[in-house]
Structure 1
């Protein structure tokens, strides 16, 4: 069987090893593997259709998405801020993770506090408006708002982020 052949497994191992350092190279590494599966399927009398794989390429890519970290002092403020962010459609989802301990410099001394971490999934285009909303609504003088790009993921989930925000 093709999937257990030494050549296929060697190609797969090489591709997956290279992808660990560069996920954007996925299409380049999958092409030869898909070609081998297609050839093997055709030669064994089983037709392999690439139309499903190609359908994803023809669909418009969702807007660039980001994850934003915001810390709040307690669950109540976290719930209130998360609810206002979702209500205003500034994000599709806000996870609230209680019980984190933050150690940081503040006004010349080291502080440690228990906080709640908000993990916010949204579109990159909403970052400025989201940041302004957090600054306006937050009890901290200098609230944490840190954005990280989402490099990839479940296409349906990324599309849901886009559709669930303004």
Structure 2
């Protein structure tokens, strides 16, 4: 590729883009590629996501002991959360038709200790099928953090206090995170 690039550069008569300048810069480009491949393997959070590194056969050669330590630390935080004073926790999504309904439901969930925290996200637009027709509505999204063991009680509370016939209640597991936050979540909800 470098020789093809240099050949093209020779045919260009522009003084700005001389072949000597391109030849001087090609080693820098190569060094940058090697450094970025090495960094992405040393610290996956700094990955450059170029898409080509995975297909190169020599990429495993850049692995080092630092890479395995970094992976151990990140999986250790998940393990640490399960060994600490936390409980299995979930994030629950519930949509509501407007700001007032969202505020009312969020406050009642926290007051009843069914949720440690509820984030209200205004300005979403939902497109869905209801009674055979495609509907589009402006809504607010509630992001609820709670214990996994409270999901059934939370669903019943939402059903009893929600204006929709079929309210959205979707739960996702929390597989890791800040131990201090997860302990706070446990202490802010009922047993």
Q: Deviations over 1:66-96 (max 9, x none)?
A: 0000000000000000000000000000000
Q: Who is 1:75 aligned against? A: 99
Q: Please give the TM-score of this superposition, normalised by the length of structure 1.
A: 0.68
Structure 1 residues 57 and 116, CA, compared in 2 at 3 Å: closer, same or farther? Answer: closer
Which of the numbers 126, 139, 148 marks the counterpart of 1:124?
Answer: 148
**Structure 1 CA distance for aligned equivalents of residues 69 and 165 of structure 2:** 48
Alignment length (residue pairs): 124
Q: Please give the TM-score of this superposition, normalised by the length of structure 2.
A: 0.60
**Structure 1 CA distance for aligned equivalents of residues 174 and 66 of structure 2:** 25
**Structure 2 CA distance for aligned equivalents of residues 69 and 146 of structure 1:** 5
Q: Who is 2:72 aligned against? A: 30
Larger Rg, first or second structure (1 or 2) = 2
Structure 1 residue runs without a partner (length 5+): 1-8, 17-28, 32-55
For 1:89, what is the secondary structure of its paired residue? coil
**Structure 2 CA distance for aligned equivalents of residues 58 and 140 of structure 1:** 36
Structure 2 residue runs without a partner (length 5+): 1-62, 74-79
- CA-based RMSD of the aligned residues comes to 2.4
Shift of residue 12, structure 1, vs aligned partner:
2.7
**Structure 1 CA distance for aligned equivalents of residues 146 and 159 of structure 2:** 17
**Structure 2 CA distance for aligned equivalents of residues 144 and 74 of structure 1:** 14
Structure 1 residues 96 and 30, CA, compared in 2 at 3 Å: closer, same or farther? Answer: same
Q: Who is 2:188 aligned against? A: 164
Structure 1 residues 158 and 87, CA, compared in 2 at 3 Å: closer, same or farther? Answer: same
**Structure 2 CA distance for aligned equivalents of residues 129 and 62 of structure 1:** 19
